[in-house]
Amino acid sequence: MAQHNDTGKEGEEMAVLFLVKNGFKIVSRNFRYKKSEIDIIAVLDKTIAFVEVKTRTNAFFQEPELSVTRSKQKQITLGANYYIQENNIDLDIRFDIIAITLFGNKINHIEDAFYPLV
């Protein structure tokens, strides 16, 4: 497996542990619908969070969260809409980003990182 795939998997594991430690219940991981993939779907109280995880070994070139483009946001929104309809979700909805920089073990949880795009 390529190094960047290993880095991504390591970041997702760190993100799951971070969310659970902060009271979230993980309801799905790597959810796919058409071209959309949502890394983590988690619930806290009366809110469902669709979480994109971005992991970098270091932030020398760019902070990880800056790589969640409008195009990626649209794909996440598409998958979230499908998930909500298929599972009859009646919770508040938000889109989060967890940015992880492995050098220094930095985790930045950005709640309501973007609004749904269609």
Number of domains within the chain: 1
> Is residue 34 situated within a structural domain?
yes
> Is residue 88 situated within a structural domain?
yes
CB atoms within 10 A of CB 86: 9
> Is residue 116 situated within a structural domain?
no
Domain extent, residue 42, equals: 3-110
Which domain CATH number covers 75?
3.40.1350.10
Task: Report the pLDDT value the prediction gives residue 104, as an integer from 0 to 100.
Answer: 78
> Is residue 92 situated within a structural domain?
yes
Cβ atoms of residues 41 and 28 within 8 Å: yes
Residue ranges in 1-118 assigned as alpha helix (H)? 3-21, 70-86
Whether pTM > 0.85 for this model: the answer is yes
Give the pLDDT confidence of 22-53 residue by residue, as tens digits: 999 999 999 999 989 999 999 999 999 999 99
Task: Report the pLDDT value the prediction gives residue 64, as an integer from 0 to 100.
Answer: 72
Q: To 5 degrees, how large is the angle CA 43–CA 48–CA 52?
A: 95
Task: Report the pLDDT value the prediction gives residue 2, as an integer from 0 to 100.
Answer: 47
> Is residue 115 situated within a structural domain?
no
> Is residue 7 situated within a structural domain?
yes
Low-confidence ranges of the chain (pLDDT < 50): 1-2, 4
Task: Report the pLDDT value the prediction gives residue 56, as an integer from 0 to 100.
Answer: 82
> Is residue 78 situated within a structural domain?
yes
